[in-house]
Chains A and B, each alone.
Chain A
């Protein structure tokens, strides 16, 4: 396949390969981030580079075949250990599996570090030893693919000199320099986590070190470059032909950044060389780390499942698994409410008196307080209104039971009636307003602002009396705010009753509804529009409800028993079933 490709032009070649190999190139060289709990030393990366012959090269081949052949022979001779296949240029393609921070020397480095005189740092000397050892054991295995590890000079330089724009005069920004400094410093000695600093909240005199560590974001990373020496035949070891194939960064938390990403389903990456030849190289990067064994993974999952179920049991032990339930066929309405504020009233020092009216078929537990009085609150000016803040919490709990379906009428909803009163310094009472709020029929959070009115008499005398000695017309029955309880007729007329608009009271209500009917209709929840729709079927359901619940309980118990069985027992039993 490869030899064929050598003698055909670039585009045609890719077309002929067919669907077996990925036909396109991947131009997305962005990085990808992986996360692994395993130690990073298990990371293995397989790199594969391959020359795709360019048209320029083809022409050259045709013009001077002999010379090129000669060069190839030279290169073959230089790397004598390579098993040369007949008619196959070893230089064209190379595979390598590279471990984390594994050093593969380039031709350049081999040439450089062979002589001890070139070695300056301890690292250089170590490389010198390693290269000598390699030579003894029969030369290195890699030619084109090599690596720069975290300790190499290149890693720091690359970080420092990376350009991000096309600007000619781009210099690394201040922050970039700081980051580079930090990184270089950190590889030598990792800073101890600031356990000393935790006792203090603020460092009043931050040290130079502290500033460096904190002003520049960083979890220390280790870097590694997988490089390709893409020089022409026999011309390995020139720095200008070195190209970065892949950058791998790993931080202390197990985050692995691979740039460009592993070539999975995407096409291979390509590098087009400069110069007159314009050679084209394709390369792939793959994750070649040893995968977890199936059994091990299963064991791990079992362990996690065990842990989670233990934790669940622990919670159940703490709190208990039961939950207060309503009777079948009953709706429990639970309201967490607050009287937030009253605004826009004439006089100061307001308080609110309220009570809850339960219509027929509603009931409430015996301990439930159904009325309340807030504190007296002096107002403050906010915008154009005088507001009084009460922040008065109350909790209402009530039950709705539908005895007979045949009654047919929709249930009435409970109502909060309230009056706002003012009580001044001389103990003069004034009625400031009456109002009512129907509890919301939808569960959730509701903020309701109820406007109020107060009854007035014709003439100025009563107003003067209200101003000077307090007191004003009051309602004898507060249910007159809505439909009075004593009313029996067809048409309610309030003709002759005069009122004046006063301020408003803001309520905040958090409503919860609980019913066994909701358990069954939860599947239908989306379709049901209001709570009334769902309450409709109470009485029919209640008869066979108990049967259904017993069935569900039995089914749940069966599932639990099944889960607690050992896995292998289930699998063997299923396999025996399949065998006949």
Chain B
């Protein structure tokens, strides 16, 4: 049994068309992994930046995993949402990135995409917002069925992750 500690934060997001964003996040792992402590998913507050377009959340992530194998290394998936002054929520982007497998501190930029609707939908999106969303959120962190999707590039979510590994060397794993 080897253990992984993941300690870090979701720093913020940039490059989205409007500010006042919040983020839903989750960690997806394979069957050989077991979460010993920490929260597997969460949601940040809504941040209203005053000057530039970078929303800062500084949302903490602190997880402890134990694993029997390398298969299904944890993946962090994020959904960025926008909340407008009327309280309506609108999807701005989906993204995923692997948890780094080398110990240490990592600053990661997780790029996101947004499903693209038909031109009528896009027109209405321009005026009243909204837009298509994924039916199954597993498409965010799997690649198998991605070819069905039409997407457009959205912004970037900034992550800072510290990784502590234990006992991997005991099983001949170099990372």
B98 within 8 Å of A (CB atoms):
yes
Tell me the residues in window 344-371 of chain A with beta carbons closer than 8 Å to chain B beta carbons.
349, 351, 369
* Alpha-carbon distance between A109 and B68 when the two chains are bound, in angstroms: 71
Of A326, A387, A445, which contacts B101 at CB under 8 A? A445
Tell me the nearest residue of chain B to A513, going by C-beta.
Answer: B174
Contact residues in A for B170 (Cβ distance below 8 Å):
323, 519
A378 CA / B97 CA spacing, docked (Å): 20
When chains A and B are docked, how far (Å) is the Cα of A508 from the Cα of B111? 12
Q: Of all chain B residues, which has the CB nearest A386?
A: B153
Q: Which of A476-521 contact B (CB under 8 A)?
A: 508, 510-519
Q: Is A393 a contact of B75 with CB atoms below 8 Å? A: yes
Contact A319 to B98, CB < 8 A, known contacts A376-B150, A395-B73: no
Is the pair B68, A323 in contact by a Cβ cutoff of 8 Å?
yes
Summarize A's interface: helix, strand, loop or mixed: strand
A444 located at the interface, meaning its Cβ lies under 8 Å from any Cβ of chain B in the complex: yes
Query: Contact check: which of B111, B144, B174 meets A443 at CB < 8 Å?
Result: B174
Q: Are A517 and B149 in contact (CB under 8 A)?
A: no
Q: Are B68 and A443 in contact (CB under 8 A)?
A: no
Residues in B with CB closer than 8 Å to A375 are: 113, 146-151
Q: Are A397 and B71 in contact (CB under 8 A)?
A: yes
A380 at the interface (CB under 8 A from B): yes
Question: How many pairs of A and B residues are in contact by the CB < 8 Å rule?
Answer: 162
Which of A12-20, A68-76, A118-126, A332-340 lies at the interface? Answer: A332-340
Contacts of B116 in A (CB 8 A): 378
Q: Quick one: CB contact mask for A372-399 with B, threshold 8 Å, 1 for yes?
A: 1111111110100001111111110100
CB pair B1–A338 under 8 Å, yes or no, is no
- A504 to nearest B CB, angstroms? 14
Q: 1/0 per residue B17-41: CB within 8 Å of A?
A: 0000000000000001010100000
User: Which residues on A sit within 8 Å (CB–CB) of B113?
Assistant: 375, 377, 389-391
Q: Answer whether residue B173 sits at the interface, using C-beta atoms and an 8 A cutoff.
A: yes
Set B98, B112, B173, B174: member contacting A389, Cβ < 8 A: B112
How distant is B170 from chain A, measured CB to nearest CB, in Å? 8
A423 to B161, CA, bound (A): 36
B66 on the A face (CB < 8 A): yes
Distance of A320 Cα from B67 Cα, bound (Å): 9
Q: How many residues on the B side are at the interface (Cβ–Cβ under 8 A)? A: 49
A522 within 8 A of B: yes
Per the 8 Å Cβ criterion, residues 130-167 of B in contact with A are 141-144, 146-154, 167
- Bound form: Cα–Cα A336–B72 in Å: 9
CB pair A382 B147 closer than 8 Å:
no
Which parts of A381-439 form the interface with B (CB within 8 Å)? 382, 387-395, 397
A380 near B70 (CB under 8 angstroms)? no
Contacts of B15 in A (CB 8 A): 382
Residue of A nearest to B163 (CB): A445
Assess A324 versus B70: contact at CB under 8 Å? Given A392-B143, A392-B146.
yes
Q: Which residue of chain B is the closest to A372 with respect to CB atoms?
A: B143
A512 interface neighbour in B36, B95, B101, B112, Cβ under 8 Å: B101
Closest to A423 in B: B150
Q: Specify which chain A residues have a CB less than 8 angstroms from the CB of B153 in the assembled complex.
A: 341, 377-380, 387-389
A201 to chain B, nearest CB (A): 9
B149 contacts across to A, CB distance below 8 A: 375-376
A325 contacts B by Cβ under 8 Å: yes
Q: Is the CB of A324 within 8 A of B69?
A: yes
Closest to B148 in A: A375
Is A559 in the interface zone, CB < 8 Å from B?
no
B106 contacts across to A, CB distance below 8 A: 445
Given that A319-B34, A372-B143 are contacting pairs, would A510 and B71 also be in contact in the complex, using a CB cutoff of 8 Å? no
Tell me if A318 counts as interface (CB < 8 A to partner B): yes
Is B175 an interface residue when CB atoms closer than 8 A count as contact?
A: yes
Which B residues touch A512, using CB under 8 A?
Answer: 70, 73, 101, 173-175
Q: Which residues B36-73 have CB closer than 8 A to chain A?
A: 36, 66-71, 73
Contact of B1 among A320, A326, A519 (CB under 8 A): A320
CB-based contact B73/A510 at 8 Å: yes
For residue A351, which residue of chain B has the nearest CB? Answer: B147
Judge whether A316 and B1 touch: CB under 8 Å.
Answer: yes
Q: Is the CB–CB distance between B174 and A323 below 8 Å?
A: no
Whether A518 lies near B66 (C-beta < 8 A) is no
Complex: how many Å from CA A519 to CA B153?
44
Known A-B contacts A373-B146, A374-B143; A508 and B97 likewise in contact (beta carbons under 8 Å):
yes
Kindly state whether residue B7 has any CB partner on chain A within 8 Å: no
- Please judge, given known A-B contacts A323-B1, A391-B95, A445-B100, whether A336 and B67 are in contact too, CB under 8 Å: no
**B97 pairs with A391, CB closer than 8 A:** yes
**A169 / chain B contacts, CB cutoff of 8 Å:** none
The reply on A532 being an interface residue by CB < 8 A is no
What are the residues of chain A within 8 A of B86 when measuring CB–CB?
none
Q: How far is the CA of A445 from the CA of B104 in the complex (A)?
A: 11
Complex contacts, B102 vs chain A, CB 8 Å: 443-445, 510
Instruction: Check if B70 sits within 8 Å of A514, measured CB to CB.
Output: yes
A300-321 CB mask vs B (1 if < 8 Å, else 0) is 0000000000000001101111
A193 CB-CB contact with B under 8 Å: no
How far, in Å, is B102 (CB) from chain A's closest CB? 4
Q: Are A318 and B174 in contact (CB under 8 A)?
A: no
- Within A274-325, the residues touching B (CB, 8 Å) are 315-316, 318-325
Which A residues contact B (CB, under 8 angstroms)?
Answer: 315-316, 318-326, 332, 334, 336-338, 340-341, 349, 351, 369, 372-380, 382, 387-395, 397, 443-445, 508, 510-519, 522, 531
Which are the 3 A-B pairs with shortest beta-carbon distances? Answer: A375-B149, A389-B111, A324-B69
Interface residues of B (CB under 8 A from A): 1-2, 15, 32, 34, 36, 66-71, 73, 75, 94-98, 100-102, 106, 110-113, 116, 141-144, 146-154, 167, 169-175
Taking A318-B34, A393-B142 as known contacts, 18 extra A-B pairs with beta carbons closer than 8 A to each other, sorted by chain A number, are A319-B1, A319-B67, A319-B68, A332-B70, A336-B101, A369-B144, A373-B146, A373-B147, A375-B113, A378-B151, A378-B152, A380-B154, A391-B97, A393-B75, A443-B102, A512-B173, A515-B172, A531-B174
A-B contacts, 14 listed (Cβ < 8 Å): A323-B69, A334-B73, A338-B97, A369-B144, A373-B146, A375-B113, A387-B153, A391-B95, A391-B112, A443-B101, A511-B175, A512-B101, A518-B169, A519-B170
